[in-house]
Amino acid sequence: MDLQQMYKKKLMSAEDAVKLIKNNTEVWIGIAVPVPLALVNALVDREPEVENITINHIVDIHPQNTWRKLNRDTNIRVDCGYPTASRDKVVSGEFTMSPILFRNMPKMYTDENYRPMHVAMLNVTPMDKHGYFCLGVGADATVAIAHNAARRRREGDNRYLVLAQVNNKMPRSRGLNYIHISEVDAIVEADQDLAVLPEAGPLSPEEETIGRYCAEFVKDGSTIQLGIGNIPNAVAKAFLDTGVKDLGVHSEMACDTMVELWEAGIITNQRKNFMPYRSIFTFAMGTKKLYEWIDDNPGVEFHPVDFVNNPHIIGRNDNLVSINACLQVDLTGQVCSESMGWKQYTHPGGQLDFVEGAFESKGGVSIIATPSVARPRANGGNPISKIAPHITPGGIVTTPRACTDYVITEYGVAKIKGQSVRKRVLNLISIAHPDFRDELKYEARRRDLI
């Protein structure tokens, strides 16, 4: 059977495709942008007819989805990491959240000893002349889940399926993020606009100062990992001001900041000692401009997350500078980046992956960057110190104190790694907001930390 005959044989409606899904199965729908809405919404519509199905995904940014009407008592449930738009559902317990290191997801979701995903729902480009579909704006854990599902089905386990939504609006990217038609069980043709993030707001003076402090660690030829939000944007602005050049990229997420630095000629990847001439990512999330930059760009590659976020792989990049944000840091250097007390705010993601990877890098540095205070609505908008005597009860440690390298606020840089507890405490107090330093010293003395 030739490729076109195979394609036509597998082509069907979304409604028919989801009828192939068995009860008592785990369904993977992807990370952020490439969630295949035609397939997912068709599955949700079948909720009264099915039993014990769980939809698993990371980063909910799709306003068009219907899965938010599900809850813990419906026949289809939702496990949602990085809940974003569904945060209220996770906090209330209507949705669950599974804490997993990003780099561990491929094994966790394919190994029978853990929680294998039986169904991979994909949002892909049209098939090429060789029979391959491209996952477009990512590879993450989806590649491993899809290949595993195809293999297990070939071995005779009919719980496993690969369902592909062919989307003409998906950019075709480079890397290890392709799947062959022979591995796909059903094809649904449905165009879907890629979800976009709103443009970030203006930088505050504090964020600009933090960006300048972070940029001091980045030299000509460094390789960078940046997240998303105003702090990375402030770092990028500082790069433009300092004139640093020939930066490389090895970062879990492609974002608009990378496009800006590439267009400015700051990112060239020409001096990378590992995988040169290419920016390496595992997924993408941003604006339409980012997705257009990714499309057919030989200087951008997406690879599976167990490769991109593997600390040993990260460490092969000399002079790697990792910059991530947090919610709270305690006086000994424990970093909380995923919860506010008992309330789950986000997912552990790849922060620890890159903290560990930067340590393995020759000349590498990892930075936790945060404004010195937050002004939560729950506190009436009044400031609270993000450097605290202890992590708020119920708070989750994302980066252990033994791994934390540098912490930066608008008041300076605190070296943590390799320092005694006393030195850590003093260093962190020195970069706390001045209004809280006396209180922090008092609490440190009361706990015999200094």
Name 152's Cβ contacts closer than 8 Å, sequence gap at least 6: 116, 159, 160
pLDDT for residue 84: 65
Q: Where in the chain is the domain with CATH 3.40.1080.10?
A: 3-189
Could you tell me where the DSSP H helices lie in 309-379?
311-314, 351-360
pLDDT for residue 330: 98
207 catalytic residue (yes or no): no
**Structural contact between residues 332 and 425, judged by C-beta atoms closer than 8 angstroms:** yes
Tokens coding 449 = 């930390």
Edge-to-edge, what's the strand order for the sheet holding 365-369?
248-249, 223-226, 320-325, 365-369, 406-409, 412-415
Cα–Cα dist 309/360, whole Å: 13
pLDDT for residue 63: 72
132, β-bridge pairs = 180
Which CATH entry fits the domain spanning 3-189: 3.40.50.2020, 3.40.50.300, 3.50.50.60, 3.40.1080.10? 3.40.1080.10
Q: Which of 131, 135, 130 is nearest to 10 (CA)?
A: 131
pLDDT for residue 65: 74
Cα–Cα dist 150/170, whole Å: 22
Given the DSSP bridges, would you call strands 76-81 and 53-58 parallel, antiparallel or unpaired?
Answer: parallel
Q: Where in the chain is the domain with CATH 3.40.1080.20?
A: 205-446
435 alpha-carbon distance from chain centroid: 34
**Structural contact between residues 176 and 133, judged by C-beta atoms closer than 8 angstroms:** no
Residue whose entry in the numeric block shows the structure tokens 């976009």: 196
Q: Which of 316, 336, 314 is nearest to 394 (CA)?
A: 336
Residue whose entry in the numeric block shows the structure tokens 């996770």: 90
For the chain, list residues with pLDDT below 70: 64, 82-85, 378
Q: How many residues does the chain have?
A: 450
**Structural contact between residues 235 and 207, judged by C-beta atoms closer than 8 angstroms:** no
Q: What is the pTM of this model?
A: 0.95
Geometric angle at alpha carbon 352, from 67 and 258, rounded to 5°: 75
Given the DSSP bridges, would you call strands 253-254 and 283-284 parallel, antiparallel or unpaired?
Answer: parallel
pLDDT for residue 96: 86
Active-site annotation holder among 26, 94, 208, 252: 252
Tokens coding 440 = 């922090």
Tell the CATH topology of 205-446: Glutaconate Coenzyme A-transferase (3.40.1080)
302, β-bridge pairs = 175, 281
**Structural contact between residues 172 and 132, judged by C-beta atoms closer than 8 angstroms:** no
Percentage helix, strand, coil, to 5, in the chain? Answer: 30, 25, 45
